[in-house]
Amino acid sequence: MRSRAKRSPSAWMNVCRGLLVLGLALMPTLAPMGAARAADGVVGRFSNDWTGNGLEVQAVEDPKVKGVTCHLVDFDRSVIDRLTKGNWFEDPSNASISCRRTGPLTIGDIELSQKGEEVFSERKSLIFKSIAIRRIYDRANDTLVYVVYSRQVKDASAKMSISTVPLYDANPQWTKGKPAAK
């Protein structure tokens, strides 16, 4: 039977150092994990604490509604935060959204059901966590409703934010004709 030699503390330190170096080397390739990073529509980025954690503001255009831009702000963890708290390949899924008319409105073939349709998504971890923007058309009030939400609900605490773009007095052009009010 083969005996296992105990590793010295310095051997464990070398293993830990090696893992740290590997993690730091992989960080630039894994940190921007956005599935649809809004074609790098980043319009603002700033640090909000001494560790380098930051907030990033992105401009996201609705692909089926020309003339609407949503601004999404979310959290970007620093390397220091990743090293001290773990979860190296995960960002918080907190986000806020504001959508406005930014030009003449042309509304394409949008989903008119109550579930609406997803217009943007971005990964916040390697596997399951992501945030998404969904557009819902409120026929009764002639309004586009945009909801940003986390796809990972943890401990029954869903994270979401909402913004609306009223179409009243906007004179939008509907490529398939305006749907009748319900």
pLDDT of 114 reads 95
Q: CB atoms < 10 A from the CB of 165, how many?
A: 22
- 12-46 burial, b at 16+ Cβ within 10 Å, e below that, comes to eeeeeeeeeeeeeeeeeeeeebbebebeebeeeee
Q: In whole angstroms, what separates CA 128 from the centre of its chain?
A: 13
Separation of alpha carbons 18 and 22, rounded Å: 6
pTM (whole model) above 0.75 = no
Of 108, 106, 150, 147, residue with least CA distance to 129:
150
The string of pLDDT tens digits covering residues 77-111 is 555 555 566 665 555 557 789 999 999 999 999 99
Cα angle for residues 154, 149, 126 (degrees, 5° grid): 65
| Percent of the chain topping pLDDT 70 | 56
pLDDT of 95 reads 76
pLDDT of 62 reads 96
Separation of alpha carbons 177 and 68, rounded Å: 18
Which range of 21-30, 134-143, 148-157 scores highest in mean pLDDT? It is 134-143
Separation of alpha carbons 37 and 83, rounded Å: 24
Q: In whole angstroms, what separates CA 51 from the centre of its chain?
A: 22
